[in-house]
Structure 1
């Protein structure tokens, strides 16, 4: 079983407002998650056009609405910390938009795998960072990442059913999942390179406990293990 990120019990909610460096890092994190949710909404709404049945179209549209519904609470937290939600999202538009351009699904099945695997990878990464946040922000981030309204089960059922009918589809989707993994890691590196504040959250650069190189290695091991588990759940090789 993959190790869970360690949560520092000494994190004080008050520091979110008192420490300018930490506050900027939190606003950046909430900004990138918010824009990721909005992008997921747009993508799922577009992918619904590829759905083979009306039931599937409705299911994807419902998934899209669920993603958009998470944004208001994230934006409110940004405002509570003295930031502007739309300014907080702006630095991440290019990286996230490029990720979606590079991973545009060719069909309905690739869209489902992307919604499950690609979003799961991003959520795992943000959940790791959340371990270094004050309790109020941490709880908000974790709750927004974990709430899926049963959509994961829908994707797993649909993909497994198609593979059962045509096993050759599994090989193509497995390659697609590996591509998503590579693109997601590239995106994460680009975001971190552009925003030193997010790197500081992980390394302790905002006067909070951070990860040493060994711990960073374990974190990426956990991300890889969770990706493999997610692929296995779909009936695909990682």
Structure 2
């Protein structure tokens, strides 16, 4: 059978595929609730009410995304919190190693970090069954709330050019930590990695394709940093 004739599974009948999808949904759900919590903390550092409300809007969007993922896990007959719990150390590691020291670093993390995560999940979505793909892509929608970050960062750089250098270094650190955690998660989760690289019954990425994926993630990060006025 030609590769073009092989289709991703349309049901969750394949136990390995089902486990991989559950892991992906659990990872996404924990990421969304973790982001909501992080943004709520960042809002405390906001310099004024306007920015506090902007961050609150981003946190609210993350929570609504979490609800969709939670509800899907329930539909699949799973305890969503049991599925999410194994990923707690992943996000604790990432947030522990990328705690912003001030408001501007928090903004860059919200904009760049969430963008990196969204890019990664969109790449994986291409190898999912239609229902799961639609859910994942829907979960990644509604990120327009973060556009105010661009104006805030550029204004800060205009006021003090030294800020640009510091935040550019911060952005590179975020990129390194995010890619490290993504690679670690895929390596630690056999079923999730099977969904990504493929298996007997469905196509996935070969090693060269995985390499190209990480190249695309790096390029998208560079474009995002440039938009903020933080040349790599």
The bucket for the TM-score relative to the shorter chain is over 0.9
User: 4+ runs of 1 displaced by more than 6 Å?
Assistant: none
Q: Are residues 1:132 and 2:127 paired?
A: yes
Alignment partner for residue 68 of structure 1, among 54, 63, 70? 63
Q: Which runs of 5+ in 2 are unaligned?
A: none
Q: Which residue of 2 aligns with 1:178?
A: 172
> Unmatched 5+ residue regions in structure 1?
1-6
- Number of aligned residue pairs: give it: 229
Aligned equivalent of 1:44, options 39, 46, 49: 39
The residue number in structure 2 matching 1:11 is 8
Of the structure 1 ranges 119-128 and 35-44, higher mean CA displacement relative to structure 2 is found in: 119-128
* Cα deviation code 1:136-194 (max 9, x no counterpart): 1101101111221x222111111111111211100000000000001001111221222
Q: Relative to structure 1, is the Cα distance of residues 206 and 185 closer, same or farther in structure 2, using a 3 angstrom cutoff? A: farther
Identify if the C-alpha distance between structure 1 residues 206 and 159 changes in structure 2 by more than 3 Å, giving closer, same or farther.
farther
Q: Check 1:206–1:108 CA distance in 2 against 1; reply closer, same or farther (3 A cut).
A: farther
| Shift in Å, 1:12 | 4.5
Query: Counterparts of 1:176 and 1:199 in 2: how far apart (Å)?
Result: 29
Matching residue of 1:97: 92
Contact 1:37 1:70 in 2 (8 A): yes
Alpha carbons of 1:48 and 1:195: their partners in 2 closer, same or farther (altered >3 Å)?
Answer: same
Q: Is the 8 A contact 1:200 1:206 kept in 2?
A: no
> Are the structure 2 counterparts of residues 8 and 185 from structure 1 closer, same or farther at C-alpha, using a change threshold of 3 Å?
farther
> RMSD between aligned alpha carbons?
1.6
Q: In the alignment, which residue of structure 1 is the partner of 2:108?
A: 113
Q: Which residue, 152, 161, 186 being the options, matches 1:192? A: 186
Aligned to 1:167: 161
Describe the SS at the equivalent of 2:205: coil
TM-score by length of 1: 0.92
Q: Which residue of 2 aligns with 1:156?
A: 150
Closer, same or farther in 2 for the Cα pair 1:173/1:69, shift >3 Å?
same
